[in-house]
Amino acid sequence: MEEKETKYLEDLSRKVIGETTIESPSLDFTNAVITRINELHKSEVTVYKPLISKMAWILIALVVVSYIIFFASKTESSNWLTSVDFKILSKINVLSDVTLSKTFTYAILFLALMFCIQIPLIKNHVNKRYEI
């Protein structure tokens, strides 16, 4: 049974392959492909769009100016600040029992150093990437 199927499939494949013609691309096929690739890779100019819009800046400025005017125009003295007892803050020692090993301290310092080095490098990379 398997031999008959195999022979039938072989005959069928020879018949199908024998009937087909060899296709050849047009003469300008390579140029057409390269042209399409170049069209895909054309870089688009990145349009600068600020994170905070002008209206948001105007709103922030208005809020700041209104707070300044409101608190500067107040003529009466604020005695509530002098009545607050700040001695209680000196009694709070949240981190008094925490001890850090030298290895951990060096690791944190190294991490901070690498962070300070990488920020200018990443900024430079992004600036070069978005150059016009």
22-58 tens-digit pLDDT: 777 788 888 888 888 887 766 666 778 888 899 999 9
Lookup: tokens for 39:
């069209």
Q: Which residues contact 60 (CB under 8 A, 6 or more apart)?
A: 52
Domain ranges for the chain, please list them: 1-44, 54-130
- Span 61-79, average pLDDT: 79
- Span 4-11, average pLDDT: 88
Alpha-carbon separation of residue 102 from 99, 107, 108, 116 (angstroms)? 10, 8, 10, 21
pTM equals 0.30
Alpha carbon 126 to its chain centroid, in Å, reads: 11
The 3 state secondary structure assigned to 109-123 is HHHHHHHHHHHHHHH
Q: Which residues contact 8 (CB under 8 A, 6 or more apart)?
A: none
Whether residue 132 contacts residue 45, with contact meaning beta carbons closer than 8 Å, is answered with: yes
